[in-house]
Chain A
Amino acid sequence: MENRKLIKIATAGSVDDGKSTLIGRLLYDTGSLTTDKLEAIEKTSRQRGFDYLDFSLATDGLVAEREQGITIDVAHIYFNTDKTNFIVADTPGHVEYTRNMVTGASTSQVAIILIDARKGVIEQTYRHFFISNLLRLSHVVVTINKMDLVGYDEDVFLKIKSDFDALVEKSCFRTEQITFIPISALKGENIAKKSTEMPWYVGNTLLDHLEVLEPEDLQEQAFARFPVQYVIRPKTDAFHDFRGFSGKLYGGNLQVGDQVTILPSFTESKIKSIQFFDRQLEVAVPGSSVTITLEDEVDISRGDMIVKSTELPSSEKSITATICQVNHKPLKVGEKYTLQHGVNRVLARVESIHSKIQTDFSGEESTDALKLNDIGKVSFKLSKAIHFDPYQVNRSNGSFILIDEGTHDTVSVGFIEARN
């Protein structure tokens, strides 16, 4: 488990583009579908009168989903190859698509966008790519599916690629962050084995391509941010004076001896030790959950943040962010929410809604409320300053959620903009 890379993927496609079939196929081709699961799929496929294996049955887990033949909620699917562990967030293309894709993509580095070769780039494709762009995913794989239904025609592939390239120009993506692969998920062409039907395609199969990606390359280059989750004070004989600050590290490395600043107090100290269970580490790397001790007695509690003294984030009591509304209750001016930024919570009031943003890259319009699945630009006033980086620089330290004070539901997710 330690030696294998971990790649996290979100899938996006419209209804009937064959998303579940693609995932089922990936599971099948990597030997991740066990005999009993395969038998269940065969049995149900037969009962439904299909003359092929309906791999969507492998992923649509809820009764309501199988009833309706659609995916309702984000499912997490796992498959392993010898070199890599994959986590796939399978996001539905049907209802509440924006909310679900944002949710799935927030924990992913790579998006696979499916396009039906017969339909080409459609409105939904704009939205999928818009969200990939909004969330600053590191890499997008555009799979043009159902090539078997268009006679494996290269011209169809090239036309869709050129339509998509026009979208890429409107985005922040560089062309090397996007890869196009013609596939047939149903027939297994260019998924794990190279298609003999499409000799004109010289690139990697989908699986080979996913294997080539390196987690390090998919990581952002950002400053180290260590939000304190929990203070460890054993008060035992052996560790009587131990005061450790536990958390997960985002951005860059932290090392023993680093000069650090603790926010919000702006107190300075030095890292005395980095501990992981009974080991002492020299360096903490991004993503690791460690415990830090400091040279000085400093007042630190949950929600505070340890950063390198030479790399301070912005500290502000008012912020502007792009918001995606993930709850049925609309976001309105004047409303008060709990804003959770990492593990820190402050109160936030909506000062103004600047605009609702069209997910087809066509621009913005003014509005006084953001409804479920809407994306818009919003300014907030906060009860206390938060210590953030713009989302484009640090995904973890640049994002937040809004919690409804009455229902406790998570109602929005926000991506903080750079201070003008």
Chain B
Amino acid sequence: MPTIYFNPKEAESIYILREVAAQFERPVLLFSGGKDSITLVRLAQKAFYPAKIPFPLLHIDTGHNFPETIQFRDELVKELGLELIVRNVQDSIDQGKVREEKGRYASRNTLQTTTLLDAIEEFKFDACIGGARRDEEKARAKERVFSVRDDFGQWDEKNQRPELFDMLNGRIDQGQNVRVFPISNWTELDVWEYIKTENIKIPSIYFAHKREVFFRDGLIWTANEHVYREPHEEVVEKMVRFRTVGDMTCTAAVLSQADTLDAVVEEIRQSTISERGARIDDKRSEAAMEKRKKVGYF
């Protein structure tokens, strides 16, 4: 057994998670079943060991998730004895709060924001921990580790608290909440290398498998009843995997033969396409992510 162990990015993330537990009354970890939130769960385990993780997980379920992800989520929660809260976008649709998009690029991704903000209000969460990384997208590069949102859930990108040294200021007014990003400073490769080193379990859709897909705009879409498809768009079976896991309607697959963690890490290392290159929601406009974040998107 080594007598010294040190990984600076991991140490920083653990420090942030402990600050959340110490500074807030009702924190929650936003869990999507993707590799980043799975990494957060491992980091939280490490931060509070041998005690249990002192906050619940919250999954905003679009209803269009990959079934493999949901199954994985339930197994993880059971194995670690975690508390899981699920809120459904379908409920927000049924209540008439949001309207389902129609047509070629219809997605429930943006609808999640309303369901999330309602859940924050329902449970009076004052800190929402998320797995966003600054390397993902250029608007995210401007994000603070403790990012204050007003009581409408809005992000004011021009008026952010400076973060100095390690000192995190989580003081907020009633009604405000803080979005916390413990792995801000990690890159996609850091996350994959960590999953490999730590041997962390991840949903099977991250590994190459055969799937029915169709091609549009140079992207590979899942052929499924939830994803709008024109009659001429032909369904084919391909070996694919996913680099990012979200709603099926906005997550494109990549052609891949990588069926082990080693192969996946190697593929990411060699890749010349960014992770968000396969996020259909980001292609809507140059500032798509920033616009969503301003109104409360995670």
Contact B11 A107 (CB under 8 A): no
* Interface 1/0 per residue, A257-279 and B, CB below 8 Å: 00000000000000000011111
Interface-lining segment among A53-61, A177-185, A362-370: A53-61
* Interface 1/0 per residue, A239-265 and B, CB below 8 Å: 100101011100000000000000000
Contact A229 B19 (CB under 8 A): yes
Cβ distance A27 to chain B, nearest Cβ, rounded Å: 10
A152 to B276, CA, bound (A): 39
Check B134 for interface membership: any CB of A closer than 8 A.
yes
Chain A interface size band reads 35 or more
Contact B4 A281 (CB under 8 A): yes
* Interface 1/0 per residue, A71-103 and B, CB below 8 Å: 011111110100001010000000000011011
Give chain A's interface secondary structure class: mixed
* Interface 1/0 per residue, B1-38 and A, CB below 8 Å: 11111111111101100110110000000000000000
A396 to B167, CA, bound (A): 9
Within 8 A of B (CB), among A269-294: 275-283, 285, 287-289, 291
- Chain A residues lying within 8 Å of B19, measured Cβ to Cβ, are 229, 343
Which of B1, B18, B164, B197 is the one whose CB lies under 8 Å from A280? B1
Which of B6, B141, B272 is the one whose CB lies under 8 Å from A61? B141
Contact B185 A106 (CB under 8 A): no
Cβ distance B164 to chain A, nearest Cβ, rounded Å: 5
Check B40 for interface membership: any CB of A closer than 8 A.
no
Cβ distance A138 to chain B, nearest Cβ, rounded Å: 15
Contact A399 B165 (CB under 8 A): yes
Q: Given that A60-B138, A75-B142, A408-B173 are contacting pairs, would A248 and B50 also be in contact in the complex, using a CB cutoff of 8 Å?
A: no
Contact A78 B185 (CB under 8 A): yes
Check B48 for interface membership: any CB of A closer than 8 A.
yes
Contact A34 B274 (CB under 8 A): yes
20 contacts between A and B (CB under 8 A): A1-B190, A35-B273, A63-B287, A72-B158, A73-B142, A75-B138, A77-B135, A78-B185, A102-B164, A103-B164, A106-B164, A229-B22, A230-B21, A232-B49, A232-B51, A247-B18, A281-B5, A289-B10, A326-B164, A410-B169
Q: Which residues of A contact B (CB under 8 A)?
A: 1-2, 6, 34-37, 40, 44, 58-64, 66, 72-78, 80, 85, 87, 99-100, 102-103, 106-107, 229-230, 232-234, 236, 238-239, 242, 244, 246-248, 275-283, 285, 287-289, 291, 302, 326, 338, 340, 342-343, 395-396, 399-401, 403, 408-410, 413
